[in-house]
Amino acid sequence: MRDAVIALLMFFAASVACQEQFAIHVINTPPDADELQLLPLVGSQEYQDARRARELEEERYVDSSSASEEGQTAYEAALRLLDNSPKDRKLIYQHLEFAAWEGHTEAQEVVAMAYLTGKTLPLNISGAKDLYQMLQAKGHAAGQMGLGFLYSTGLGMEAPSQPMALLHYTFAALGGNSFAQMALGYRYFTGVNVENNCEQALYFYRKVASKVADHIPLTGGKALQKIRLYEEWENPAVNTNMDDDLMQYYTYVAEKGDNQAQVILGQLYLQGSRGLPQDRALAHQYFSKAAAADSPSAHAHLGRMYLEGSPEVRQSNATAFTHFTAAAEAKNGMGHSGLGLMYLYGRGVAVDYALAVKHFKAAVEANSVDGQVQLGIMLFHGLGVERDLTKSIKMLTAASQSGSVVALFYLAEINAMGFGVPRNCRSAAELYKNVAERGKWGTLFADAFNDYKMGRLDTSLVRYLLLADLGYEVAQSNVAFILDKGIGIGIDCCS
């Protein structure tokens, strides 16, 4: 395994002069300069339609007919457990594992990734390879992606092969696989083992960024913690996980009725940040306690949770409106922004662009980043206000500097299509890359870091390798760090 990973590090440092240069030209033209569409609001019918359309696009060439009756039964049992006992992951994966080896396509995809990353199931590179080969034979993009990664790193293979990695990644990317699209976007953007081609990089990164932008939760989703291991090694204080003593303090004062502590804990559990698990039910509990004492921030967060809806919090436009109104009356920016979204999309109220703009402006005055984003979008489209691309770009740029994924995506689209600014492929590709790296797969960073801290270096290394192959610079740095230390890395797991 060590030799294979060293080969991967050499691959990262390679350039166009690499002897195994091998390019497959998929696209070399800029995107059509169509008008930007409003991103669908999470939980809306448009959101569900867009999500299903993407699923159908990715499944169009897949042969799902090879599962045995026993495999189908096991898969259905796993789904029932997932609905009724989602925390019983080991039993769920036992059913999925049986279904996978009985030929069930969806189970094979899930189990192959579990084998590859050592999540829930033990790390099993050879098992992952076998399942990815089965998926490839069915025309499944995930099978092509998995083999592309194995060829790129040499894990489970006699030796790494960048031409074979590029070939498999290309077929996977054309089949809609986000991992493969990111891997190719990175290669074409940096010119690693292929000819540097900004337009191809932009094409692939845009595919992934569009999916990420379409699925950004109102509540912000799970927090991504990209910790550099060498910094943590030199200064353990950079570890962003919540200190046990501090956590106990916040919990104690929250239970005693401290509204600020309740809101802080609610935010941490809502996003799963600072090393805490994501727990929407517990977040809702803390926000509700703070809202009972008329905390504007708690009302605003509850408004978002009810507007979006989740298994833990049933969607309710009326309840969301009530909480947003309570927050807005206290001049809370998130509250105003929430009301603006409801009027913009007509959620429980009639569509009213003028009222939406009014609330977004109030949100901006309250220093709300989300208000800046939404007002920038309204200015861009000319909804409820005269269209002004210059002001729109200024507003979106300010929001992007605070890390807004939606603002980054709009700026990427603006640069890619030349709306109000000269078209700039490289700036657009960089922005799309930034958005793409905010996808849910980024949660692998937290898993990899936790494995590293627990001494499971093999599993940590493979997870960082996967992220590194997708172009995450922090992951590439962490792969180098683990190899440099080298203590505890085995080879049995990856033979």
Q: What pLDDT does residue 68 have? A: 85
Position 445, amino acid: F
What span, in angstroms and rounded, lies between the C-alpha atoms of 360 and 338?
9
Q: What pLDDT does residue 435 have? A: 93
In the predicted structure, residue 27 carries a pLDDT above the cut 50: no
The residues, any chain, with a CB within 8 Å of residue 365's CB and separated by 6 or more, are: 333
Radius of gyration of the chain measured on its C-alpha atoms: 23
In the predicted structure, residue 18 carries a pLDDT above the cut 90: no
Torsion-angle region of 488 (φ positive above 0: left; ψ -120 to 50: alpha; else: beta): left
In the predicted structure, residue 273 carries a pLDDT above the cut 80: no
What span, in angstroms and rounded, lies between the C-alpha atoms of 342 and 335?
11
Backbone angles phi, psi at 492, to 5 degrees: -65, -35
pTM: 0.82
**What is the average pLDDT across 275-287?**
87
pLDDT band at 469 (very low <50, low <70, confident <90, very high): very high
What span, in angstroms and rounded, lies between the C-alpha atoms of 117 and 147?
14
Give the residue carrying structure tokens 């790296």. 437
What span, in angstroms and rounded, lies between the C-alpha atoms of 289 and 298?
8
Contact between 280 and 304 (Cβ < 8 Å): no
Q: What pLDDT does residue 420 have? A: 83
What span, in angstroms and rounded, lies between the C-alpha atoms of 353 and 378?
8
**Model confidence over 235-254: pLDDT tens digits?**
765 556 666 677 888 788 88
Q: What pLDDT does residue 242 have? A: 65
**Model confidence over 328-347: pLDDT tens digits?**
999 999 999 999 999 998 99
Q: What pLDDT does residue 36 have? A: 58
Q: What pLDDT does residue 56 have? A: 56
**Model confidence over 253-270: pLDDT tens digits?**
888 888 898 999 988 888
Lowest model confidence (mean pLDDT) among 48-52, 94-98, 378-382: 48-52
In the predicted structure, residue 432 carries a pLDDT above the cut 50: yes
Name which residue leads in pLDDT, 38 or 161. 161
- Residue 96: helix, strand or coil by DSSP? helix
Q: What pLDDT does residue 135 have? A: 95
Q: What pLDDT does residue 33 have? A: 44
Contact between 204 and 24 (Cβ < 8 Å): no
- Residue 447: helix, strand or coil by DSSP? helix
* Listed residue (198, 117, 252) closest to 432, CA to CA: 198
How many residues does the structure list for the chain? 495
Give the residue carrying structure tokens 């909480």. 323
Helices 280-292 and 296-308, packing angle to 10 deg: 140
Q: What pLDDT does residue 81 have? A: 87
In the predicted structure, residue 113 carries a pLDDT above the cut 90: yes
**Model confidence over 199-217: pLDDT tens digits?**
999 999 999 999 888 877 7
Tokens matching residue 147: 């083999």
The residues, any chain, with a CB within 8 Å of residue 106's CB and separated by 6 or more, are: 64, 75
In the predicted structure, residue 25 carries a pLDDT above the cut 60: no
The residues, any chain, with a CB within 8 Å of residue 399's CB and separated by 6 or more, are: 369, 370, 372, 373, 376, 406, 407
What span, in angstroms and rounded, lies between the C-alpha atoms of 467 and 403?
20
Q: How many separate helices (H) and strands (E) can be counted in the chain?
A: 25, 0
What span, in angstroms and rounded, lies between the C-alpha atoms of 152 and 335?
48
**What is the average pLDDT across 376-387?**
91
Q: DSSP string covering 303-372, please?
A: HHHHHH--SSS---HHHHHHHHHHHHHTT-HHHHHHHHHHHHHTSSS---HHHHHHHHHHHHHTT-HHHH
